[in-house]
Amino acid sequence: MTSTHELLFVVVTLAALLWIAIKATLVVCRDPLIERPQRSAQLSLVWLLPLIGPLVVLAVQQPQKTRRRVSASGSSANEDKGNAADVFEALVEGLDKD
């Protein structure tokens, strides 16, 4: 009886790992903004590191989806660019002072 439970546990674990890897692969492959080298690196990460790779890729892709939604809605995208430009300008000014 114990071997049956162990086998079931292994099968369910492998199925979950496969499912999350496939989900991460689809997310990476469907993203039109990722260039080929980055896509290859992310897919390698997904399939070479069974649990950590897909979780990292999904975590990285999630904020990008949120940013795209904000960019598509309009005004927030310009505000983000303005803030980034202001931060960069302040950084350059700080370097010039030194």
The one-digit pLDDT tens for each residue of the chain (98 residues) are 578 999 999 999 999 999 999 999 999 999 988 899 999 999 999 999 988 999 999 888 877 655 555 555 554 444 444 556 665 666 556 555 54
Asked whether the whole model's pTM tops 0.75, one would answer: no
Domain range summary for the chain, segments of one domain joined by +? 2-97
For 5, 25, 56, 59, 76, the CA distances from 47, given in Å and listed in that order, are: 27, 9, 12, 16, 35
